[in-house]
C-alpha cells in the first residue's frame, strides 16, 4: 500500500516538473497535454501561491510543493 503511495508521490513530482518546463516553453494552451498537466497541478499550486506570493517575479510554488512531497515521503518512510 505504501509502495503505491510512494509511486503516486513520484509521479505527481514528475507532473509538477513537467508543468514547470511547460511554463518556460509556452506551448498552446489548447494542447491536451498542457491542459491535463494544468488541471492536475493548478489546484495545489494555486493554494500555495495564495499563501506564498511571487518574489521578484519568480513563482516558487512548484519548489515548495516538491519539497513538501519529499518531506511527506521521508516522514512516511520513518513511520515504517
Question: Could you list the residue range(s) of the whole structural domain that residue 13 is in?
Answer: 2-79
Task: Answer whether 25's CB lies under 8 Å from 33's CB.
Answer: no
Q: Tens of pLDDT along 18-75? A: 999 998 898 888 999 999 999 999 999 999 999 987 788 888 999 999 999 999 999 9
Number of domains into which the chain is organized = 1
40 vs 68: CA distance, rounded Å: 17
Burial class of 37 by CB neighbour count within 10 A (0 to 12, 13 to 18, 19+)? buried
Amino acid at each position: 500500500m505504501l509502495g503505491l503511495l510512494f509511486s503516486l508521490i513520484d509521479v505527481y513530482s514528475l507532473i509538477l516538473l513537467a508543468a514547470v518546463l511547460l511554463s518556460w516553453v509556452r506551448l498552446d494552451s489548447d494542447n491536451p497535454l498542457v491542459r491535463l498537466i494544468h488541471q492536475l497541478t493548478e489546484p495545489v499550486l494555486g493554494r500555495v501561491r495564495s499563501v506564498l506570493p511571487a518574489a521578484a517575479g519568480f513563482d516558487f510554488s512548484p519548489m515548495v510543493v516538491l519539497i513538501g512531497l519529499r518531506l511527506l515521503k521521508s516522514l512516511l518512510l520513518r513511520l515504517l
